[in-house]
Structure 1
Amino acid sequence: MLGSMAEREVGVLAPERREQLLAAAADEFTRAGYERASLNRIIRDQGMSKSSFYHYFASKEALFNAVVTGLATAVAEALNPPSAEDLTEGDFWPRITELTDHLARISRDEPAAARLAGLYYLADAPNGAGTPITAVRNAVDDWIDRALEIGRARGEVGDGLPIALQRHLAKAVIWAMDEWTVANLDRLSPTDLGRLPATQLDAIKRLLAADEERG
């Protein structure tokens, strides 16, 4: 169970209407951040009254949680990521490359992926224990940590730094490149965009490489 009653949905909105509301809310949260996002603007743009909104959602946080849950479910279904244990079979980095390429396609073709990425990094998102955004972040961290453990055991990833720091560094590279891409999107050609996932992975691979590979 996620949070208290005040943080959960309290009514059932028609599926199409609910999808429209959550999409509009996702765009508002991504654009303004959680704290500055205007619940009034979301409601008004959807042609809803406040009393109608509160019939279905107990709070702004409940709406945010519903947005994250819906996006995470859609992305998980589209991505269908392998378990980290699958990396024990075959070549480690080529398997990571396959996953990265697939994720890049999902990010390009699935609006839910772009919206979830925008919410994932929000510094002011509700992130208490049991909240959907924390669950998503923990799931990502757990997968990366297990993948790093497997890479280290196979000699594909260096072991000179703690795994938690390696994960932090890898995510910092991803975030920095994603942030730069968004800021320069209007100047990037389709070819440029197509090269970015490989460039991103190459930077991470160099950062995490085993000592003998660095030389």
Structure 2
Amino acid sequence: MGSRTVGELPPRRRRALLESAAREFAGAGYQRASLNRVIRANGMSKSSFYHYFDSKEALFDAVVTEAGRALVEAVDLPDATELAGPDFWDRIARLLDQLLALAERGELFTSLGRMFYLPDAPAGEDGALSRARAGVDDWLTRALEAGRSAGAVRDDLPPSLQARLALAVLWAMDEWSVTHLPELDADELGRLAAAQLDAIRRLLSP
């Protein structure tokens, strides 16, 4: 039985609550995150909070779901099949640039990135985090298929093996970048992103 929301806040108050919850989860981790701090920061009582969310997990799932949806909308994410063309790597580079820009100015998206790698986050298959990771994996796998069909990605490995290798490398790069983001200025972050894209191209290009 999954967690659930039990009411609906006005949009502006809901966004403020989810943003403060994202900061709390990203900074303290799931288990140590304090609902009391989130509730106080939003001028709510416990009874009013539990009118809208039945648990900490329900709040966590709402943050992941809505921040993830906002991220997809902010980068205007194309369907992976649309990448099948001669500009495959150029389009991947432009998408990476958009994600970098959001990381530099969007605290909600930075917090979401940290939440993806919390060791104590809810890990159930029906949870928002598991669904989000599965969605990312599915998009990346289909993007690889599009790159193969366009001749931009090597085809000398079985597709399933190639996908596992690429996903493992991409998730490792992302986790390192999210963890070290506070230590990097804009120039360093840009150079790191360029180096990561170059490493992926060398891994995958024919």
TM-score bin (small chain):
0.7 to 0.9
Say which SS state the counterpart of residue 7 (structure 2) adopts. coil
The answer for the alignment partner of 1:157 in structure 2 is 153
Letter in 2 for 1:193: L
RMSD: 2.1
1:116 corresponds to 2:112? yes
Alpha-carbon offset, residue 30 of structure 1:
0.3
CA contact (8 A) 1:11 1:57 kept: yes
TM-score, reference length from structure 1:
0.83
User: Structure 2: how far apart are the matches of 1:166 and 1:12?
Assistant: 40
Deviations 1:12-63 (A, max 9, x none): 2232222221111110000111111111222233332222211221111111
The answer for the alignment partner of 1:172 in structure 2 is 172
- Tell me: CA distance 1:148–1:156, structure 2 relative to 1, closer, same or farther (3 Å): same
Say which SS state the counterpart of residue 124 (structure 1) adopts. coil
Q: 5+ unaligned residues in a row in structure 1: which ranges?
A: 211-215
Alpha-carbon offset, residue 154 of structure 1:
4.0
Alpha-carbon offset, residue 169 of structure 1:
1.7
Say which SS state the counterpart of residue 127 (structure 1) adopts. coil
The answer for the alignment partner of 2:40 in structure 1 is 44
State how 1:89-100 maps to structure 2 within 5 Å: 89-100=85-96
TM-score, reference length from structure 2:
0.87
The sequence identity of aligned pairs, in percent, is 48
Q: 85, 109, 112: which one pairs with 2:81?
A: 85
User: Structure 2: how far apart are the matches of 1:14 and 1:95?
Assistant: 37
User: Structure 2: how far apart are the matches of 1:94 and 1:131?
Assistant: 34
CA contact (8 A) 1:65 1:132 kept: yes
State how 1:1-215 maps to structure 2 within 5 Å: 3-4=1-2, 7-158=3-154, 159-160=156-157, 162=161, 163-182=163-182, 184-185=183-184, 188=185, 190-210=186-206
User: Structure 1: how far apart are the matches of 2:105 and 2:86?
Assistant: 28
Q: 5+ unaligned residues in a row in structure 2: which ranges?
A: none
Deviations 1:83-142 (A, max 9, x none): 111111222212211211122222223333212212122222223223222221111100
The answer for the alignment partner of 1:213 in structure 2 is none
CA contact (8 A) 1:33 1:124 kept: yes
CA contact (8 A) 1:74 1:112 kept: no
